[in-house]
Amino acid sequence: MKNISQVIKILKIKNKEFYKPVVTQESLDRTPFRVLISCLLSLRTKDDVTANASKRLFSVAQNPEHIVRLDTKKIEQLIYPVGFYRTKAKRIKEICKVLINTHNSKVPESMEELLKLKGVGKKTAAITLVYGFGKANYIPVDVHVHVLSNRLGWVKTKNADETMQKLMDVVPKRYWYDLNDLFVTYGQNICLTRSPLCSKCPINKYCKKINVTNSR
């Protein structure tokens, strides 16, 4: 249905040309804490900025105890210039205190508990569960996943939370783990949000180009 298998197969091949998103890179060591914090840093921030900020922060603080010992100003310096770095520094420290006091310094392993952490939405929670814990029970949805899945005609939705649920209804579960990584990478390099490179797109024939008004 909707050529999902064909599209995913093609993207897996094409995306080998590009760098993986920073949150996916952080998941390679299977540390839920690193995935959670990197995802919080990535919100409204370019990938290369997030990558550098994550490296600086994790070079001096590898767990919640390390972070709460840092002065908030020090966290700000380490993560600058991510978007809203002052707010994020404060938020990250608050979350680490909750992890220590409520979860024995561990990242909770359920959507319900993750959403109780201030500043953690469904996307961040889903990314933490999927790429931090290796649980393919959700499809994390950011702007790229939302835009691409609507352009392809797989879903017809108005926001990321709605897209997550609709995608889980139509995409076979065997593809859930890879979908965010595939769409984010492809969205950053080919299917750009404002002006997609349709002339270079190997899945062009499968795309309905819904809401695409300007392409190259």
Mean pLDDT of the chain: 93
Taking CA atoms, 119 is separated from 90, 105, 107, in Å, by 11, 18, 14
Full set of structural domains in the chain with CATH: 4-19+138-206 (1.10.1670.10), 31-132 (1.10.340.30)
Cβ atoms of 93 and 57 closer than 8 Å: no
pTM (2 d.p.): 0.88
The pLDDT tens digits of the residues spanning 50-95 come to 989 999 999 999 999 999 999 999 999 999 999 999 999 999 999 9
Rounded Cα gap, residues 183 and 144, in angstroms = 6
- Look at residue 19 in the predicted model and tell me its pLDDT: 77
143-167 average pLDDT score: 96
- Look at residue 141 in the predicted model and tell me its pLDDT: 96
